Amino acid sequence: MSDKSASPAPPSELVDLYEHPGHLLRRAQQISVSIFYDELGSELTPIQYAVLRSLSSHPGIDQVTLAGLAAIDTSTGATVCARLEEKGLLQRQVIPHNRRQRALSITPAGERMLADLTPAVQRLRERLLAPLSPDEREQFMYLLDKLVRTNNEQSRAPLARPVAAPD
């Protein structure tokens, strides 16, 4: 009996939809969003959560910078910020030296919401990664980060890493 693991698999013709990484990534996103709503409810969308989380870590930034940190396009960022402001979760103030821009800050209600959602976010992570062993989880997160990081510039809304403040 031959050991199939010793011989390389024949080259794929990529005729099976489930051999396409893009399709699997889209399916993984669908699953992630579904579990997001199961765990966090419908008060926030995943993008709204990402914006609030980014703003919590970087108070006082403008909408364009926030969109870059959340890896969303600026028009989506403006719409999301307006919706979060309507909900009382963030506030926008005119920047005195640049009246076209608004400085954003998360409100106390927004900070409370993020704190209240922490257990649900932890459950979301656990549910998403549950099929994997601890070693597989570590490897998966490493490889997913590598895939996203090295392909960042291919995105229509690349992630902008925050620039460290000068000393």
109-119 residue pLDDT tens: 999 999 999 99
Residue 160, C-beta contacts closer than 8 angstroms, at least 6 positions apart: 65, 68, 69, 71
Q: What are 1-52's pLDDT values in tens digits?
A: 445 555 555 666 667 777 888 899 999 999 999 999 999 999 999 999 999 9
The model carries a pTM of 0.81
How many folded domains does the chain comprise? 1
Q: Assess if residue 16 is contained within a domain.
A: no
Of 59, 70, 56, 61, nearest in space to 95 by CA: 61
Q: Assess if residue 27 is contained within a domain.
A: yes
DSSP H or E run through 118? helix 108-129
81: domain range? 22-153
Q: Assess if residue 136 is contained within a domain.
A: yes
* CB of 85 closer than 8 Å to CB of 51: no
Q: Assess if residue 26 is contained within a domain.
A: yes
Task: Give how far Cα 1 sits from Cα of 4, 5, 8, Å.
Answer: 9, 12, 16
Q: Assess if residue 3 is contained within a domain.
A: no
CATH number at residue 53: 1.10.10.10
